[in-house]
């Protein structure tokens, strides 16, 4: 079975469309949260993703944008985008966001679970091997997909050895992929990266493809209509910084 793994779309319709148009054949889609927040097309993005698969995990922006959580923990730019999103979302889409599950959600793949932050805390940022140690140990499954950091890659361990996994790319403006073979005996925490707002210094939309038969995860980067996404943000009256950071990939 092959699953397209998406995270942190952040209402970036142009990035999502580029990912869906270029994604290899797959049986299902696993979504790791933050479907909305920051970008200018929350309704259109929800329309696209809600029928794609059955596995959805909620993100902190999803909670904030549907009023499940206060904006007190958000920085001023994120809070302003969340307020804009709240008033822009249709009531049907607010209801859809409110029913999303807190992770971990067991996927329809064998021994794979999905979370937004980590298995211990949906809001945890897993950035370093030190952050990854406990979530890797405590996960019920051998493979856990996570998002939230907007950094593609992940971590693996067999208790003796520890690995930080970083896809190697040439960079630039072409699509690229990086295949990771899943080794027996290792436990994995894997982040497909952010579709809609990458923060690993690569502006291209990020996603991953899990192949349970071949025992691989392939990381992908795909260019998208960045200028259009930026224009939509500016036209919507969202903070300028949300447009400029897309080009910087941070």
Task: Please report how close the Cβ of residue 100 comes to Zn ion at its closest, in angstroms.
Answer: 14
CA distance 123 to 146: 11
Query: For Zn ion, which stretch binds (CB under 5 A), given 30-38, 41-49, 95-103, 135-143?
Result: 30-38
Q: Which residue is nearest to Zn ion (CB)?
A: 34
The angle subtended at Cα 200 by Cα 39 and Cα 198, nearest 5°, is 15
One of 2, 5, 8, 9 touching Zn ion (CB under 5 A): 8
Q: How far is the CB of 120 from Zn ion (least distance, A)?
A: 18
17 touching Zn ion, by CB under 5 A: no
Q: CA-CA distance, 153 to 167, in Å (whole number)?
A: 6
Asked if 42 contacts 18 with a C-beta cutoff of 8 angstroms, the reply is: no
Query: Nearest distance from residue 7's CB to Zn ion, in Å?
Result: 7
As beta bridge partners, residue 143 has 112, 188
User: Residue 38 has which token pair?
Assistant: 């920051």
Q: Exposed, middle or buried: residue 167 (CB in 10 Å: 0-12, 13-18, 19+)?
A: buried
Q: Which of 14, 17, 31, 34: binder of Zn ion (CB under 5 A)?
A: 34
Span interacting with Zn ion, options 2-10, 14-22, 49-57, 105-113, rule CB under 5 A: 2-10
Binding site for Zn ion (CB under 5 A): 8, 34
């Amino acid at each position: 079975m092959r699953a397209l793994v998406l995270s942190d779309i952040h209402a970036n319709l142009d990035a999502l469309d580029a990912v869906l148009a270029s994604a290899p054949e797959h049986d299902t889609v696993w979504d790791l949260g933050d479907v909305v927040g920051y970008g200018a097309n929350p309704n259109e993005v929800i329309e696209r993703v809600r029928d794609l698969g059955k596995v959805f995990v909620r993100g902190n922006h999803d909670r904030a944008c549907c009023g499940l959580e206060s904006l007190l923990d958000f920085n001023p730019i994120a809070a302003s985008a969340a307020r804009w999103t709240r008033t822009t979302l249709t009531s049907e889409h607010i209801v859809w966001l409110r029913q999303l599950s807190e992770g971990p959600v067991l996927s329809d793949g064998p021994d794979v679970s999905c979370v937004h932050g980590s298995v211990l805390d949906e809001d945890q940022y897993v950035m370093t091997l030190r952050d990854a140690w406990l979530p890797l140990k405590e996960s019920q499954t051998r493979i856990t997909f996570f998002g939230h950091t907007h950094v593609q890659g992940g971590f693996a361990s067999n208790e003796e050895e520890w690995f930080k996994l970083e896809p190697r790319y040439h960079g630039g403006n072409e699509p690229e992929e990086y295949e990771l073979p899943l080794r027996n005996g290792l436990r994995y925490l894997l982040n497909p990266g952010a579709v809609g707002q990458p923060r690993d210094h690569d502006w291209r939309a990020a996603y991953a493809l899990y192949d349970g038969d071949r025992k691989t995860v392939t990381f992908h980067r795909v260019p998208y209509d960045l200028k259009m996404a930026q224009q939509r943000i500016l036209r919507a009256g969202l903070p300028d910084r949300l447009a400029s950071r897309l080009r910087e990939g941070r």
